[in-house]
Amino acid sequence: MVVRELTGGIYFGQPRGFGTNDKGEEIGFNTEIYSVSEIDRIARVAFEVARKRGGKLCSVDKANVLEASMLWRKRVTAIASEFPDVELSHMYVDNASMQLVRNPKQFDTIVTNNSYGDILSDEASMITGSIGMLPSASVGESGPGLFEPIHGSAPDIAGQDKANPRATILSAAMLLKYGLGTENAAKRIETAVTETLDNGFRTGDIYSPGTTLVGCKRMGEEVLKALDSQK
């Protein structure tokens, strides 16, 4: 699980823009900036998520060279005292990108800033074989979150019965687990999705010889069958 800060960092920091340096060359510039409140907020979310999972949280930064990351690491470490049941570790982003490929099972929950999370979450998605497998959520401190597949709308295959519906289905499970706190209901959906995979059903994005190629509609039906069989 990658917990990404979404409203701060270099994507929104000021100042930003274009200018000219002392040599007369055109330059572009952005600002990586985080406040204590922004870091504390996302850190607490990540610790709560880790608490519901395997109890391990890895904070990813670049604290060896960036002041914004130094503050990030300082604050995440401070917030850890509120969650003594969660094991906290730190990792530089370049190493984390390598470790995700080398040994993804070492991670349970990752928390990181906006730009690093943008990259690492896409990298992590391909470990599963396809971005069509992964749910996501955009949540705030209060009010409803937005739970949706990590991928876009894929207009190039619209209406062709080719899309992988699992990310959408698992987004509903994520809503139940993290948005509504109904973990048993979420587990039923997750189990049904896993069962369809175990039974060899595949949409085109994850198809391989020896498995059963089905479309979006059939895949949804198979998940429903697996869900109903749990009764």
Given a contact cutoff of 8 angstroms between Cβ atoms, the answer to whether 20 and 32 are in contact is: no
The 10 Å Cβ neighbour count of residue 76 is 25
Q: What pLDDT is recorded for position 150? A: 86
Q: What digits encode the pLDDT tens for the residues 131-172?
A: 889 899 988 877 678 999 988 788 899 999 999 999 999 999
d(CA 93, CA 195): 34
Given a contact cutoff of 8 angstroms between Cβ atoms, the answer to whether 31 and 16 are in contact is: yes
75: left (phi over 0), alpha (psi -120 to 50) or beta: alpha
CA-CA-CA-CA dihedral for 112, 118, 120, 123, to nearest 10: 160
Q: What digits encode the pLDDT tens for the residues 185-213?
A: 999 999 999 999 999 999 999 999 999 99
Phi, psi of 111 (to 5 degrees): -120, 135
Closest CA to 36 of 11, 64, 71: 71
230 pLDDT above the threshold of 90: no
Helix (H) or strand (E) holding 49: helix 36-52
Question: Which one-letter amino acid corresponds to residue 231?
Answer: K
126 pLDDT above the threshold of 90: no
Please state the rounded mean pLDDT for residues 62-89: 98
Q: What digits encode the pLDDT tens for the residues 9-29?
A: 999 999 999 999 999 999 999
Give me the residues paired with residue 206 across strands.
none
More confident residue, 197 or 125: 197
Cβ burial, residue 4 (10 Å; 0-12/13-18/19+): buried
From the options 3.30.450.30, 3.30.420.10, 3.40.718.10, 3.30.365.10, give the CATH code of 1-128.
3.40.718.10
129 pLDDT above the threshold of 90: no
Q: Which residues are catalytic?
A: 11, 62, 94, 118, 122
d(CA 166, CA 168): 5
Q: What pLDDT is recorded for position 141? A: 74
Closest CA to 75 of 49, 44, 39: 39
Domain ranges, ordered by start, for the chain: 1-128, 131-230
Please state the rounded mean pLDDT for residues 74-85: 98
Averaged confidence pLDDT in the chain:
94
d(CA 152, CA 141): 25
The 10 Å Cβ neighbour count of residue 42 is 26
Closest CA to 120 of 1, 9, 222: 1
Q: What pLDDT is recorded for position 86? A: 98
